Structure 1
Amino acid sequence: MKFLSFVLSVLFVIQINDAHKLNIELLYESLCPDSVRFVKNQLAPTFDEIADYVNITFVPFGKAFSNQNGDFDCQHGPIECKGNRIQSCVLNQIPDQVKQVQYVHCFMQTYVTNPMEQGEKCATQAGAIWEVVKQCVESKAGMLLQLQAEQTTSHYKPQFIPTIVYDKKFDQNAQDSSIAGFRDYVCKRLQKDKQDVCAPMRLKPIRA
């Protein structure tokens, strides 16, 4: 009985802590140069240090749209559509957000230079099963994940990709600040919520 009470109390604390996290949604595209730069220069170098204080959701869709043929048209062509779909399928397999960030960073760096590889190495390094990923990409499951990404993206009607949304509300000032200095903006938001987590932060070099 005491053990059950302990487990319930731990779960309760976890739920409270999770409720106080800053929710971030990243709307982006697999071949968008601005998306690649943001992930490489802003998100990836910072995330390990803020991971305990945020929940991040990746939405790989951008300015794409579904068509009457049951397929998608993307800003940077069919190869980008394939990349968005691959990412949706991989991200759906790996719930750990630190691994998700590592995967997206890896994929965005490799897919733009070698789309034929399809990011298989990045996916398997993150713990995804590549055969399952392929089945997802080539099936209705991949389409449904992209339709879900389209629904989320359409809700915010982004004018610029990538778009960064905090706590389900788009704010242009937050967007501009995040593009210029993601770490600084997130630190200010966390400090506003009385989470003094930024003072000891030091950026770590990220390999391309």
Structure 2
Amino acid sequence: MRMLVPVLLVVAALTARASSSNLVNVSFYSEALCPDCDRFTEGEMKEAIEKVGEIFTLHFVPWGNAKMNDDGSFKCQHGEMECAMNTVEACVIKYNPIRSTWWPFIVCLEAHGYQQTWEIAQQCAEKQNITWSEVKACAEGPMGKHLEVMYYEETASLNPPHQYTPWVLINGKHVKETDMIRKICTAYEGENKPEACMRAQRQFPPMGGCYKEPLE
């Protein structure tokens, strides 16, 4: 009997590793102040995390349809505040890499739609016990720019190129941004699927997207 506990622990550890290797990889290419990104964040993706979050990872990329100017500055589809809030989101993720901390911040910020501001971002950070001074210093400094350049390069390398935001990949392949729970559950090859995978899910209304457009 003395050998039973260590053996069970080893089996449990191996099972946990096998389970994590089956996680679905979801990438969400977004941009601040985009109404369709806001709706997707508060709707499809929020519900997927709540109901089947244990079977997928989420890689969130706050760049979207922004452009990089020749001088290295950024120009964003929804103006300077979009650029600022994209960078704030990047910095929150940088210093708070656990999804259960940074994701509620994203939901909180994007729930404000066009009213996203530095003040709102600070309020959302404080709700999650995120150190706002650290995030603000990052967003206004070289680290924030470094993160956004990294996200710009990643977004620019998408194949096929993204056409709009929100733009979602499941295991590296673009999917239409609807019926996310079913798609994630279908992609999951592990055992013990969440109960939500076995039940019909509510259907969200169809949405368009913030399409690419020239930023002159």
Q: Name the TM tier (shorter chain).
A: 0.7 to 0.9
User: 1:152 is matched with which residue?
Assistant: 154
Contact 1:83 1:111 in 2 (8 A): no
Picking from 178, 181, 188, the partner of 2:186 is 188
User: 2:206 is matched with which residue?
Assistant: none
User: 2:198 is matched with which residue?
Assistant: 199
User: 1:100 is matched with which residue?
Assistant: 102
User: 1:79 is matched with which residue?
Assistant: 81
Counterpart CA distance in 2 for 1:38 and 1:159 is: 16
Aligned length, in residue pairs: 195
Counterpart CA distance in 2 for 1:27 and 1:9 is: 37
CA shift at 1:153, angstroms?
0.9
Q: Which runs of 5+ in 1 are unaligned?
A: 204-208
Query: Rg: which structure is higher?
Result: 2
Counterpart CA distance in 1 for 2:10 and 2:97 is: 23
Counterpart CA distance in 2 for 1:72 and 1:148 is: 13
Quote the RMSD (CA, aligned, Å): 2.6
SS at match of 2:111: helix
User: 1:206 is matched with which residue?
Assistant: none
TM-score (norm 1): 0.82
Counterpart CA distance in 1 for 2:7 and 2:126 is: 38
Once the two structures are superposed, the pairs formed by residues 65-144 of structure 1 within 5 Å of their partners are 65-110=67-112, 112-144=114-146
SS at match of 2:169: strand
Picking from 155, 166, 179, the partner of 1:162 is 166
Q: In structure 2, do the counterparts of structure 1 residues 39 and 70 end up closer, same or farther at CA, with 3 Å as the change threshold? A: same
CA displacement, residues 138-186 of structure 1 (integer Å, 9 cap, x when unaligned): 111001110111122112121121100112x233xxx22xx22222222
Further displaced range: 77-86 or 96-105: 96-105
One-letter amino acid matched to 2:66: A
Further displaced range: 50-59 or 98-107: 98-107
User: 1:47 is matched with which residue?
Assistant: 49
SS at match of 1:112: helix
Contact 1:51 1:98 in 2 (8 A): no
Q: Between Structure 1 and Structure 2, which shows a larger proportion of helix residues?
A: 1
Contact 1:49 1:201 in 2 (8 A): no
TM-score (norm 2): 0.79
Q: Which runs of 5+ in 2 are unaligned?
A: 203-216
